[in-house]
Amino acid sequence: MKICTILRSFFCGIVLCCLFTGCDNPQSITLDQDDARVAGFYCDYLIRSGVAPSAAGVSNLAHLSTAEIDTLLVRHYLTRESFNRRLLFYKRSPERWQAVLELVQLNIRKKIVGEQ
């Protein structure tokens, strides 16, 4: 009986510790202009390729040509080299990549609402 109480208390303590460690305010990541450019490019890429739904809610997957991708890169003031460097940076900084993806989601929502 005593071991059961000890184990229950230990388990409850671990659960409480896990809950409280998730309650602190995570350090917010401030995205720079390059992050915003990558997010804008990725948003447009997903919408044009059909991965993100359109305002009509229909997603037809399409393969973008190299020329179309280059056009999107130029529109967002990126080059293939700068984009690739940024992707390498995000591989070393997954928290920043997560923040960029959240910005992509926000941009997609704004564009879909704007089309309606």
Which pair of tokens denotes residue 101?
Answer: 């993806």
DSSP 22: T
Of residues 26 and 111, more confidently modeled: 111
Question: Is the pLDDT score of 21 beyond 60?
Answer: no
Give the pLDDT band (50/70/90) at residue 54. Answer: low
Q: Structural domain tally of the chain?
A: 1
Q: Is residue 48 part of a domain?
A: yes
Query: How much is the average pLDDT of 45-57?
Result: 74
Rounded to whole angstroms, the Cα distance separating 116 from 107 reads: 15
Domain range for residue 97? 27-115
- At 39 the pLDDT is 96
| Contacting residues for 44 by C-beta, under 8 A, at least 6 apart | 72, 75, 76
Q: Is residue 3 part of a domain?
A: no
Q: Is residue 13 part of a domain?
A: no
- At 95 the pLDDT is 96
Give the pLDDT band (50/70/90) at residue 52. Answer: low
Q: What is the pTM of this model?
A: 0.69
- At 4 the pLDDT is 47
Give the pLDDT band (50/70/90) at residue 88. Answer: very high
C-alpha R_g of the chain: 21
Of residues 102 and 60, more confidently modeled: 102
DSSP string, 50-114: TSS--TTS-----PPPHHHHHHHHHHTT--HHHHHHHHHHHHH-HHHHHHHHHHHHHHHHHHHHH
Rounded to whole angstroms, the Cα distance separating 61 from 48 reads: 9
Q: Is residue 107 part of a domain?
A: yes
